[in-house]
Amino acid sequence: MTTATPARTAAPTKGLASRLLHNAHAQFLVFGLLLCLLPSLGSALGLKASTLQTLGFVLIYSIAALGLNLLLGYSGLVSLGTSGFMGLGAYLAAYLQDDLGLGFWCGVLAAVVIPTVVGLLVGVVSLRIRGIYLAIVTLCVSEILLKTFEQLEWFTKGTAGKQSHYPSLFGFQTGRASMFVVCAVALVLVMMLTHNTVHGQLGRALHAMRSSEVAARAMGVNILKYKLFAFALATAYAGLAGALYLFFLKSSYPSTWNLFLSLNVIAMVVVGGLRSIFGTVAGAFIIFAVPELVLKKLPVIGDVSGLPYIFSGILIILVIMFFPQGMKGVADLVRRPFQRRPASGKGAPA
């Protein structure tokens, strides 16, 4: 994902500040630092607790959206299972921390590993067939998981909802503000991991796969392996996001993990811009925080329940229809292959 020009192009003669500014990891750290300061700064500035809560969810959804962005942006595949895998992560985290008493870290680990294993199985079945099937199969898996959340009462407490607690970390009992910081740290780590993933050998292979599968195969790129990798990573991120969701909200209900959540995560990716790390976070903010913080406050239409859905849906359609140039990544995906060459030709030095 394009976050900054490669560090290589920054001439060594330039100052340290300028080089830091061009280093992607430094950017992520600065961004994370600002986020970590937000809870304490926010209370001084009169930031409402509910606003902080909303922003916390933006961070959590950003993690899930970064995974989906990797999948959609590099393999051109859509997953409709994000919410199911997030839910699985949330319930696993609650089960391990609260029911088994194994603590925060075991909960998070299980929330990442088990959905990834499930995702790998699903991916092996559907990716061998045709790309378009992944959306259908993940839609179905998500429905199956939703049913599981409703029925498996020993695990999820069914529709009554699973209650949890703020975890204790390194002997420190977290609260809402400190969980926000935990989410911010997790997001920055995920951003760094994603940046590393899309650069270097791994990233080149992903780029080649997106650009031309035929050429990528001739260069020794195992397409199935890399698509599976992208899907597994998307699933792992969703699982992590689910665990953080649970610890941040301290509860989970089956109805949360419905199709709309998956669609909203797709909207975050599309609106934020494909293959853009900061764009994804911005997309998560637009899709989740804007309806919560702005639309709901509007007179008359603010009370309408379906408004956030319409907002996301129309944004998806408008971005794909009208702003492919504005968001370079969307342009590359939306245009047909034969449009690619002339399109990529413009704007580059002759």
Partner 1 sequence: MTTALSIEHLSISFGGLKALDDLSFAIEENQIYGLIGPNGAGKTTVFNCVTQFYKPDQGRVLFTADPDRLGRWTKKAVPSGDGRAVIDLVGLPVHEIIRFGLVRTFQNVEVVPELTLADNVLLGGHVDFKATMAEQMLRLPRARREEKAYRAKALDVLGFLGIAGLANQPAGGQPYGVLKKLEMARTLMAEPRLIILDEPAAGLNDSETEDLAALIRHIRDQYQAAILLVEHDMRLVMSVCERICAISFGKFLAEGAPADIQRDKLVQEAYLGEQE
Partner 2 sequence: MDQVLQPLLRSLETGSVYALAALGIIIVWRTSLVMHFAQGSMGMFSGTAVAYVLNHWGLPLWQAVLVGVVVAIALGFLVDFAVIRRLKRATAVGKEIITLGLIMVFLGAAPIIFGTDPMLLPKFIPSGDVSLGGANLSYNGILNISVGVLIALGLFFVLQKTKIGLAIRATASSDQTARLMGIPTRRVTLMSWALAGVLGMLAAVMIAPTVTVTPTFMNTVQVAALFACVLGGFQTFYGPVIGAYLIAVAANFLKLYVSSVWGEQLMYLLILVFLLFRPNGLIGKTYLQKV
Per-residue 3-state assignment (H helix, E strand, C coil) for 31-71 = HHHHHHHHHHHHHHHCCCHHHHHHHHHHHHHHHHHHHHHHH
Residue identified by tokens 């245009």 is 335
Residues 180 and 174: their CA atoms lie apart, in Å, by 9
Residues 206 and 229: their CA atoms lie apart, in Å, by 10
Q: How near is the Cβ of 241 to partner 1 at its closest, in Å?
A: 18
Q: Determine, following the binding rule CB under 8 A, whether residue 218 of this chain makes contact with partner 1.
A: yes
CA distances for 64 relative to 55, 176, 217, angstroms = 15, 20, 29
Residues 125 and 139: their CA atoms lie apart, in Å, by 14
Q: Which stretch binds partner 2 (CB under 8 A): 19-27, 134-142, 200-208, 229-237?
A: 134-142
Which of partner 1, partner 2, none sits in contact with 211, Cβ below 5 to 8 A by type? Answer: partner 1
Q: Determine, following the binding rule CB under 8 A, whether residue 220 of this chain makes contact with partner 2.
A: no
Residues 112 and 104: their CA atoms lie apart, in Å, by 12
CA atoms within a 13 Å half-sphere pointing along the CA-CB vector of 64: 36
Q: How near is the Cβ of 321 to partner 2 at its closest, in Å?
A: 6
Which of partner 1, partner 2, none sits in contact with 205, Cβ below 5 to 8 A by type? Answer: partner 1
Q: Pairing between strand 168-169 and 172-173?
A: antiparallel
Residues 147 and 143: their CA atoms lie apart, in Å, by 6
Which of partner 2, partner 1, none sits in contact with 344, Cβ below 5 to 8 A by type? Answer: partner 1
Q: Determine, following the binding rule CB under 8 A, whether residue 295 of this chain makes contact with partner 2.
A: no
Q: What is the DSSP letter of 4?
A: S
Q: Which is nearer to partner 2, 31 or 133 (CB)?
A: 133
Identified binder of partner 2 from the candidate list 26, 139, 185, 192, rule CB under 8 A: 139
Q: What is the DSSP letter of 222?
A: -
Q: Which is nearer to partner 2, 36 or 287 (CB)?
A: 287
Q: Which stretch binds partner 2 (CB under 8 A): 7-15, 85-93, 185-193, 265-273?
A: 265-273
With residue 162 as reference, give the H or E element that holds it.
strand 162-163
Q: How near is the Cβ of 278 to partner 1 at its closest, in Å?
A: 17
Q: Determine, following the binding rule CB under 8 A, whether residue 19 of this chain makes contact with partner 1.
A: no
Residues 327 and 309: their CA atoms lie apart, in Å, by 22
Q: Which is nearer to partner 1, 180 or 229 (CB)?
A: 229
Site string for partner 2, 14-53 (x = CB under 8 A): ----------------------------------------
By CB under 8 A, the count of residues binding partner 1 is 37
Binding site for partner 2 (CB under 8 A): 72, 76-78, 80, 125-126, 128-130, 132-133, 135-137, 139-140, 143-144, 147, 151, 214, 258-260, 263-264, 266-267, 270, 304-317, 320-321, 333-337, 339
